[in-house]
Structure 1
């Protein structure tokens, strides 16, 4: 089975501390698996940890979380080399691709070297659900704000562009995220930009935003647009369904 149309789940969440393990998959990752339409067999999730440097200890935590969830989890490590000569086929064999957080600038640079963008686009169009947190959210968009270069946020605009918007993550938990995004939209550096508080996610079918969801009791989602008459950024709060 595959999602009935190209689907992306872009989030500021997805993981939580486990009761007996370091990590468990939270509701946003479970929602991505549900959206893949898999049934009658074990779901297959591919984790990509490029943004954090393919840390093997974290891969182990993700694999353990998969065991708890009853899923088959594999990892597409690019350091020191990909696990296969057929990366497009490897991605296509999964139901969900989940991209972890870290440095989105470094992620995009390494992905470009391996031409991973085209393989991910093929998987997305074939019905593999793409998702991720933080850097693993921004990467699907035109760009967004990042601390990839240091503690002062900068704006990148070289995202994969599967979704023709900007993206803002950790909108409520890091004080400079909101003003940085609003300034970038007001200046025309970013197009219409979709943002999530911690624990929230945005679901896209094709390139259309169809729903905002959250794995927490609070936390919102927002659209920031440029008002052409005033040259300022205008923010709209979205309805959020609690998972």
Structure 2
């Protein structure tokens, strides 16, 4: 069992998710952890990396590093050294589908699975939230066509048997998108609001938030009808099986 903090959305540079970011640090058990930023989904955007250094480095006291896979071609040995040498991984937002294709090409997906088993904290926002789960509800088609508002189901790393969908509340059409995807997807889907995160620790879970009112939705089908449950931020942890299994 491992540790994941999947963040539904919010602007890192504006400190929207700062209390969630503090929880990412806390889970490492270290005052000045080594934090690795993976910006594949944003095509290794340099500005995103600068923001991460400012927040996780200057404000939160981490020793920061970056793994570039678009503008650089590191060897598998270098990839393993960076990932296994970190206390936490933070995956930035962007094009989830393209990111996962690049990861699989370089073997990053398998290295991250081993990092999870080793207890390295896995975190990220938007695409960086989707990637850890069995499936994701993604708007990746819009990166090829800005007018395409459709959603697709993508295969994530499968560390947790859920379908993940970010940016609910801010982008309300995602509610319908997730419900539609779950018609033909086994199990349970989670729709995270911006400024809300699903925290998973060794077989338990809770929802945490950085702004009042942030929460999540739990969606699944029962007798061919959608069941939608509002999930609220809670200080207590619950067994992950309660979230994953249909009621």
Pair in the same fold by TM > 0.5: yes
Per-residue displacement from partner, 1:172-199 (whole Å, max 9, x unpaired)?
11121001111121x2225311121110
Output the aligned Cα RMSD: 1.9
Q: TM-score, normalised by structure 2?
A: 0.85
Number of positions where the alignment pairs a residue of Structure 1 with one of Structure 2: 228
Structure-1 residue corresponding to 2:226: 233
Q: Does the 8 Å contact 1:202/1:209 carry over to 2?
A: no
Unaligned 5+ runs, structure 2: 143-147, 236-247
Unaligned 5+ runs, structure 1: none
Aligned 1:110-125 pairs, distance under 5 A? 110-125=102-117
SS in 2 for 1:13: coil
SS in 2 for 1:170: strand
Structure-1 residue corresponding to 2:215: 220
Aligned 1:99-118 pairs, distance under 5 A? 99-118=91-110
Give 1:87 shift.
Answer: 1.4
Structure-1 residue corresponding to 2:171: 174
Q: Does the 8 Å contact 2:167/2:174 carry over to 1?
A: yes
Structure-2 residue corresponding to 1:8: 4
2:59 pairs, out of 59, 63, 68, with 68
Residues in 2 aligned to 1:190 and 1:77: alpha-carbon distance in whole angstroms: 34
Give 1:13 shift.
Answer: 3.4
Residues in 1 aligned to 2:186 and 2:42: alpha-carbon distance in whole angstroms: 25
Residues in 1 aligned to 2:197 and 2:47: alpha-carbon distance in whole angstroms: 26
Give 1:24 shift.
Answer: 8.1
Aligned 1:89-100 pairs, distance under 5 A? 89-100=81-92
SS in 2 for 1:194: strand
Structure number with the higher helix fraction is: 2
Give 1:109 shift.
Answer: 0.6
Q: TM-score, normalised by structure 1?
A: 0.87
